[in-house]
Every structure is written in C-alpha cells, then in structure tokens.
Structure 1
Amino acid sequence: MSETDSSATSPVWRRASVALLRWFDTGQDVVVDATQADRVDWLRVIPFIGLHLACLAVFVVGVSWFAIAVAIALYALRMFAITGFYHRYFSHKAFRTSRPVQFAFAVLGAASVQRGPLWWAAHHRHHHRHADTEHDIHSPRHGFWRSHMTWFLTPRGFGTNHDAIKDLTRFPELRLLDRFDILVPALLAVGLYWLGDTLQSQAPALGTNGPQLLVWGFFVSTIVLFHITVTINSLAHRWGSRRFATRDDSRNNWLLALLTFGEGWHNNHHHFPGSARQGFTWWEIDLTYYALRFLSWFGLVWDLKSVPPALRKPTAAALRAS
C-alpha cells in the first residue's frame, strides 16, 4: 500500500493510526513529502521516547548483581551482532557465513531495537557513498543531535532503499524480519520479565524479579547500547586522529573503539571499508574481529577479508595534517 506522508495536513487521529501501524509493520511504502522529509515525526517515535523514560523505573525496581550481569551480557551480545553482522557482514560483506548463522545474528541484531538488517545496511551503504556531504543524512556537519539520533526519526530516515541491498533482499527470511523487526525486542522483553518472575520464586537468593530484570536487562541495556552505537556517527567524525586522508571527516578514537568493540577505529574503516578487522595495528583493540576469528575456528564464518599491506601505511596528507 502506498500513501503520501502529509503530516502537516492530515488530522491527528489519522496520523496516529498510521504511526501505530508502522510501529508493527515497517513495510508500508510511503511517498515522502519533501517539505516534511527531515522533520521529526513525533507520533512515530513515541516508543523510542518511551524506551528512555522506562529507564527511570530503576528507582522503583531496585538493583541486583544478577540484573546488572544480564544487562551487561545483553549489551555485549547485541553489540557484537550490530558490529560484526549488521555492519561488517550485511553492510560490507567483510566475510562469509552460512544462511542459518546469517539469520541467527540478524535476529540478535534486531533485538537491539536498531531496526532490521536491511534498513541498517541500506542506510550505512548510503553513508559510505556520501560520507560527510550534503547527501549524508547523519553527518555531524548537520549538527550533533541530527547525526546522533534525529536523522532516523524523520520520514526520510524511516525509509529503506531496497535498490542498495539487492544482495540481501533475495532472502525472504531477512525481508520478513526487517518488516516486523519490532517483534524480536518485544519477545526479548517478555522473556526477561518471565525469567525474572521465575527466578524470584525458584532462586530468591539472586534478589531479582520480573520488573527488575525487564528494566535493567531490556530498557537500560538497550538505551546504553543505542547511544554508544550511534556515537560512531556523531563523535567518530569529530574527535580523534586521522591516519588516512579519506574524503570524509572520519577519526580513530580509542575510547569509542573500546565501547563499540572496535568500531571506533573509524578512519581506518573509511580507508578500507571491506576489512573484517578495523584495528589495523596490534595495539588497536578490536573485540569484534577477535570474536569473528573465534567463530571462524568452528567454521561458522570464513573468508575474513583483510587490509592489503600496502594500504596500511598512513597517507602523507594525513601525517601533515596531524
């Protein structure tokens, strides 16, 4: 179904019903009104705001070591799904894997509440084609908050350019997951509540319960994961060093690299996007690459692409600018 996104003229009830539909089914084709394309659609982003507000419930549910451990574990697992698969695999094909493993990590990535793998890859490929130009919708040149998060809260950001991901759209399971991406985090939230409720009666020594595990394991972990992930858009094009004179503003930032499991070596990445390893030197810690190497020992991934030795040397222009 195709409909024009005429937010300025549609009655509130109609916009609310359309927004509600798109929360659950992102496959709706929308003809974007150019005058509204880059304005935040507040009705559409109510759930995103709700995720943030729900974190305040920590003052109600309390805390336990088990809830913190679950939050950290889910942060790490979902961060790897985003960096290793959403980014290095789906967006850049930096290695190969089987169809079942591809889908398994697509599901884990969707649990991050960062939309589906097709949407993510399409926008990231667009970013690399137009990095830090007027066509890059999350360049910091457009402002910090635009690059950090408001870009994907707009009608232009909601859409997916399927022409940019034809290699991925041939998989019906990925198309289905991408269309109903909200289902995975919803099931995760329900599962965490059930686990906490079960542990409250079966293992009371853990000191947790359903509401507590839901708040810490889902809401807090998800929001921290989200904001650290998008610092690569907002901060890694502003703060850090440049080893290579790329055509964009990308930087290497060691702190962001630690927090994002290697994504902070962003200037390296823009220099050679197809590499499975973004930390080019031994001291550039790249946890995502280490995890991919671990999976390769069991044959779950293979053909990890590396940077040609000749391309690892800093460019003269970058050295002069540093």
Structure 2
Amino acid sequence: MEILILMLVLWYVGLFFQTFFLHRYAAHQTFTMSKFGERVCFVLTWIFQGSNYLSAYGYGVMHRLHHAYADTEKDPHSPKYDANVFAMMWRTKNVYQDINNKRIEVEPKYTKNVPQWERFDKFASSRGSRLAWAAFYTVFFIVFATAWWHWLFLPVAFFMAPIHGVIINWFAHIYGYVNFKVNDTSKNLLPFDFLMMGESYHNNHHTHSGRANFGVRWFEVDFTYWIMVVLDKLGCIKLNKSA
C-alpha cells in the first residue's frame, strides 16, 4: 500500500507542480503570485519531482519554443521529426539543458518574465540532489515493497517528469481528437482527463495557449484549473482575467 501511495503522490502532486508552476505560470503566465509564493513553488516542485526536477526557466523557455515552432525542425520535441520516443526524449533533454545552462542564445521574447532562481536551480538540478532522491526512493522500496512487482514502479519514480512529458509531447501529437484545426499535430488525448489533470487537452491548449482553463467542451474537466480557481479565491494567486 505504501508503494502505491508514494507513486500516486509523485504522479499527481509532481504533475500538479509541473502543469501549475512550470507550464501555466513560468511558460504562459496565466496567473501572477508573490515572489514568496514563487519561491515556495520552486521548493515544492523540487520535493515532488525529486530526481527529475525541472527548472522553471529551462522548462518555460523550451515550452515557448515548442509553441513557436510546433512540429517543425526547430521544435524541441516532435514525433514528426524524431524517429522514436527515446530519440525525442534525448533531444528534449539536450535542448532543455542547453537553455537552462544558457549554452545557446535565445531571443528575448522567449525569456521575458520567465522566473529563475539560479542558486536554487543549481542545487536542485545537481547530480548530488538527483542521486540523493534516487537513494531515498530505493530505500523506501526496500522498506515497503512486499511483492516483486512493486519494484517495477521504481524506474517510474526515477523518471516521472520525463514520462509526463512523453505522454503529452509524443502521444498527444499522435492519438486523440481535435476541437480546433491548427497548423500542428496536437490532439486532445483524453476526453475526461483523470490522468494528466488537464494537460491532455493539448489541441485546445495549442489553439488558446494563454488560456488558464485547458478544457473547452462540457466534459473536458481541467482539474488543475479548478484548483487554480480555489487558490485565486484564497488570495494565493491572481488569475489573469484575459486567460
């Protein structure tokens, strides 16, 4: 039971901070929050992404490039230009690291207002941090795994964030349905998105990239958006009215 609880926490809470903080805040700025709130999100993203921590700056800039160049040779990740899912993952990793470490020049319009906490990112992205989290997961499994198949979840814990990325950036560009005609292959992967908390409404998002609510049709429930509504009501964030 403990293993399944851990995996659910890593899947959904890690996913929440990926879509809420990295995607909707860092990349698209569909809401605003205080500098303190931003720093809290940095730390919570590190806690719940653990060994696969993604920088808000690296993710935010890369995602803006994805929208600008979707399904072209300049797209950081596209099934159209990568031979297989592993090739796409490898290229995505390299582009992300080049952006995050500022090894490539990026036009200012793609970096404008993207949050960055360089000192924390350096620590959270370090090999030591990633190995420490990997060791924690391993020890947790040693203590709580009671069946051989529990160990099949350990690699998933190690690579949770890339798995989330693959589901959207690969499969949601191949399978699903479309509500809007766009100039790329983005699709809505799930009609009721219980798995990706609204992220799988990818065709909707590519059509209205600045919209906070990724759902459009009555059955397209965006769980992350409704959490954002609650946080807005509580004064933790301020949703942009235009989003």
What is the aligned counterpart of 1:96 among 29, 32, 48?
A: 32
What is the aligned counterpart of 1:250 among 186, 191, 215?
A: 186
**Does 2:16 correspond to 1:80?**
yes
Q: Runs of 4 or more off by more than 3 Å in structure 1? A: 183-194, 215-220, 304-307
Deviation string 1:122-179 (CA, Å, 9 cap, x unpaired) is 110111111111211311111332674121343x44201564324236x5xx122333
Contact 1:246–1:271 (CA under 8 A) maintained in structure 2? yes
Deviation at 1:236, TM superposition (A): 1.0
**Does 2:235 correspond to 1:299?**
yes
Give the Cα–Cα distance (whole angstroms) in 2 for the partners of residues 279 and 129 of structure 1: 21
Aligned to 1:287: 223
Deviation at 1:252, TM superposition (A): 1.0
| SS across alignment from 1:226 | helix
Letter in 1 for 2:89: M
Deviation at 1:180, TM superposition (A): 3.2
Aligned to 2:75: 136
Aligned pair count?
A: 226
What is the aligned counterpart of 2:118 among 164, 175, 178?
A: 175
Aligned to 1:227: 163
| SS across alignment from 1:76 | helix
**Does 2:96 correspond to 1:151?**
no
Contact 2:53–2:125 (CA under 8 A) maintained in structure 1? no
| SS across alignment from 1:232 | helix
Deviation string 1:176-223 (CA, Å, 9 cap, x unpaired) is 2333332554554566678x59xx9xxxxxx738xxxxx799753343
**CA shift in 2, pair 1:188/1:103, >3 Å:** farther
Between the aligned residues of both structures, percent identity stands at 27
Give the Cα–Cα distance (whole angstroms) in 2 for the partners of residues 293 and 193 of structure 1: 37
Contact 1:132–1:141 (CA under 8 A) maintained in structure 2? yes
Contact 1:97–1:302 (CA under 8 A) maintained in structure 2? yes
Give the Cα–Cα distance (whole angstroms) in 1 for the partners of residues 131 and 28 of structure 2: 28
**CA shift in 2, pair 1:168/1:225, >3 Å:** closer
Aligned to 1:33: none
Q: Which 5+ residue runs of structure 1 have no aligned equivalent?
A: 1-64, 201-206, 210-214, 308-322
**CA shift in 2, pair 1:177/1:256, >3 Å:** farther
Contact 1:275–1:304 (CA under 8 A) maintained in structure 2? no
Contact 1:130–1:136 (CA under 8 A) maintained in structure 2? yes
**Does 2:11 correspond to 1:68?**
no
Aligned to 1:21: none
Aligned to 2:211: 275
The 5 A counterparts of 1:195-210 are: 208=144
Higher relative contact order (CA 8 A, sep 6+): 2
Contact 1:192–1:217 (CA under 8 A) maintained in structure 2? no
**Does 2:66 correspond to 1:127?**
yes
**CA shift in 2, pair 1:193/1:140, >3 Å:** closer
Q: Which 5+ residue runs of structure 2 have no aligned equivalent?
A: 100-104, 146-150
Deviation at 1:81, TM superposition (A): 0.3
Q: Give the TM-score taking structure 1 as reference length.
A: 0.61
**CA shift in 2, pair 1:220/1:236, >3 Å:** closer
Give the Cα–Cα distance (whole angstroms) in 1 for the partners of residues 92 and 192 of structure 2: 21
Letter in 2 for 1:135: K
Contact 1:68–1:216 (CA under 8 A) maintained in structure 2? no
| SS across alignment from 2:113 | helix
What is the aligned counterpart of 2:111 among 153, 159, 165?
A: 165
Q: Give the TM-score taking structure 2 as reference length.
A: 0.79
Deviation at 1:271, TM superposition (A): 0.6
**CA shift in 2, pair 1:152/1:256, >3 Å:** farther
Deviation at 1:280, TM superposition (A): 1.6
| SS across alignment from 2:77 | coil
RMSD: 3.0
